[in-house]
Structure 1
Amino acid sequence: MKKLLLLAAAVAVSSLTSCNTAIGIGRDFRQLGIGMENKAHGRTWDGGQEQQQDNLPTY
């Protein structure tokens, strides 16, 4: 009986923490997507304007 209660408690705790982990991963992927989109549009990763150097070719 003790083992069953311990197993139930472990499942309950892991299910609560996994929800927060999934939310955190979702937020990380959203930030990654925003950063990639900013770089594709010629901005810095955090959204500011990137300074271009004149001696490098622009594609």
Structure 2
Amino acid sequence: MTGTHLTRISIVLAALLALSACGNTIRGMGRDTANAVDATQDAGRSVERAAN
């Protein structure tokens, strides 16, 4: 293998690592958003029950 091949392989591996990290971050943000929506809806129901 030449230096050029090693460089290309290194770049591809680094890109794959970065993309997998981004995927995990986006998935986590989706879960956090869903949890925030659920908590907001629960709080709204609590306020509604308290007002009645």
TM-score (norm 1): 0.61
Residue correspondences, number = 45
- When normalised by structure 2's length, the TM-score is 0.68
- Provide the aligned C-alpha RMSD in A: 1.9
Higher relative contact order (CA 8 A, sep 6+): 1
State how far apart, in whole Å, the 1-side matches of 2:37 and 2:7 are: 44
Q: Give the % identical residues.
A: 16
Structure 1 segments unaligned to the other structure (5+ residues): 44-51, 53-57
In proportion to residue count, which structure has more helix?
A: 2
- Which residues of structure 2 form unaligned runs of 5+? none
